[in-house]
A and B are shown apart, each in its own frame.
Chain A
């Protein structure tokens, strides 16, 4: 057995193109999961706000889904829908519900009653009140939940590598490196995945600053 160096820089140099492709796939799988998960969660949250009695049930179901091991879901899905993007996205989307729904509901709960009362008293229609008052005031927690779901999904995307070589994003390198006992690949997959999560989180923090400048003003005032 020859001793391998921890990182084979020559391999890295020769694979820049494929690595970039995997980064792209990783982002693509993440964006789809977060976007679809957000859309479904937003509807579930809106339903929970209107029918408060349903809220505990929605939370219980979202949490129950979250407890199913991802590996088990992938094994089932590979039988049902093969090694496809669909098979990868179904669990990724499901796992976002528990991160999105409670935060979106809490976001709308933070809108003070006196703000709603004065909006009504000044003649906002329901729609105007929702778009111009309630949604902007819920945004800090809504964006916080997007950060949470994005970071969590970037980590989970690596597991989709078990569906086959055509999936997994950077997880492909982690799995392939493991099979071949090739640390360079494992490190490339793992470290780039972490870097993606950190960069995405920073980008969303900036987005939140731009969208809700009044939050910073409030914090300075305190």
Chain B
């Protein structure tokens, strides 16, 4: 039902698709002179190179001061790099007129930054207004986007930001960033200011939305768990703005490139990998007598399944298929071996 609404909204909205993004030897130094710290200065970035294919979510993660926000803001040129190039669909962003560039890039920040003096509807339509859409088209667009992020337009379009909850404000922020159908979105800790339960809801909802919209997204967070959940690709930045590792979440958890990355992702990285897989991914033995055993829906994360098995202290649980029929037996050993025999997991025990 939900995804039907999303799909029809998307059909009506049209979709300009996504753009590829590439960092090529990008550095940002603060201060001046030969001593201008390459390392040490918070927010500095040192020779950053990586590529994000169109339609992927790339998470920049690292400790505070590692330059992740600086990197994000160099994409829409709120900060200009000292050297290097950033290519959007192969075009150096330095060669694009700066306001035109920014109007094509969605921008969401932790503090949201909604305009307090404009209604929700007009906040969402800010970029369409800047690029000269008719009032009617602006209004229609705002209504469509509010529906898309789960806010009833008739209830919300006339309100002011002060009359919204933190989670509602953040949704409006996302709707506003999507308004001109940008091929790239920059999101700087977008869900960090809301409480953990609302945050998980916003993350899930955003991932659902992204399945339909398939935008290219650069997402900054300091939270490893959020990075693993949201990212198709993760760039781990170390102090001094150096790229410590770049790759899909599972690879970073399975094979941290350095002690720094291993420490940063945490000693529980094996468990974190389990949260990337579900019971449906598991090969299972035929189940015999299954009375009294825990039962797992296909979408249950292996991490949760393991936790339930450990608490229940049983020999295993029952994996159900989509129809809710028993598919086979899930055991602790089976879950543990799932980490070992995956293609990227060869040295997962190291």
Binding site for B on A (CB under 8 A): 112, 114-115, 117-125, 128, 133, 136-137, 212, 214, 217-218, 220-222
Residues of A within 8 A of B162 (CB): 214, 217-218, 221-222
A–B complex contacts, Cβ < 8 Å, 16 sampled: A114-B111, A115-B113, A117-B78, A118-B113, A119-B113, A120-B78, A121-B102, A121-B109, A121-B186, A122-B107, A122-B130, A124-B130, A136-B117, A217-B159, A218-B160, A221-B162
A117 touches which of B109, B126, B159, B160 (Cβ 8 Å): B109
B113 touches which of A112, A128, A218, A221 (Cβ 8 Å): A112
Q: Which residue of B lies closest to A136 (CB)?
A: B117
Residues of A within 8 A of B115 (CB): 115, 119, 133, 137
Q: A-facing mask of B115-131, CB < 8 A → 1, else 0?
A: 11110000000110010
User: In the complex, are the beta carbons of A128 and B130 less than 8 A apart?
Assistant: yes
**Which chain B residues numbered 86 to 126 have a C-beta less than 8 Å away from chain A?**
98-103, 105, 107, 109, 111-118, 126
Besides the contacts A122-B130, A217-B162, A221-B163, what 16 more A-B pairs have beta carbons closer than 8 Å? A112-B116, A114-B111, A114-B112, A118-B109, A120-B78, A120-B102, A123-B99, A123-B101, A123-B127, A124-B99, A125-B99, A133-B115, A214-B118, A217-B159, A217-B160, A218-B162
B76, CB-defined interface residue at 8 Å: yes
Decide: A123 near B113, CB < 8 A? Known: A128-B130, A218-B162, A221-B163.
Answer: no
Complex Cα spacing A124 to B107, Å: 13
Decide: A137 near B117, CB < 8 A? Known: A118-B109, A125-B99, A221-B162.
Answer: yes
Residues of B within 8 A of A119 (CB): 113, 115
Residue in B76, B107, B118, B186 whose Cβ sees the most chain A Cβ within 10 Å: B107
A121 touches which of B107, B117, B163 (Cβ 8 Å): B107
CB distance from B327 to the nearest CB of A (A): 48
Q: Which residue of A lies closest to B177 (CB)?
A: A122
Complex Cα spacing A117 to B107, Å: 10
Complex Cα spacing A136 to B176, Å: 20
Q: A-facing mask of B133-159, CB < 8 A → 1, else 0?
A: 000000000000000000000000001
User: In the complex, are the beta carbons of B127 and A122 less than 8 A apart?
Assistant: yes
Task: Name the 3 nearest CB pairs between A and B, nearest first.
Answer: A118-B113, A123-B102, A121-B107
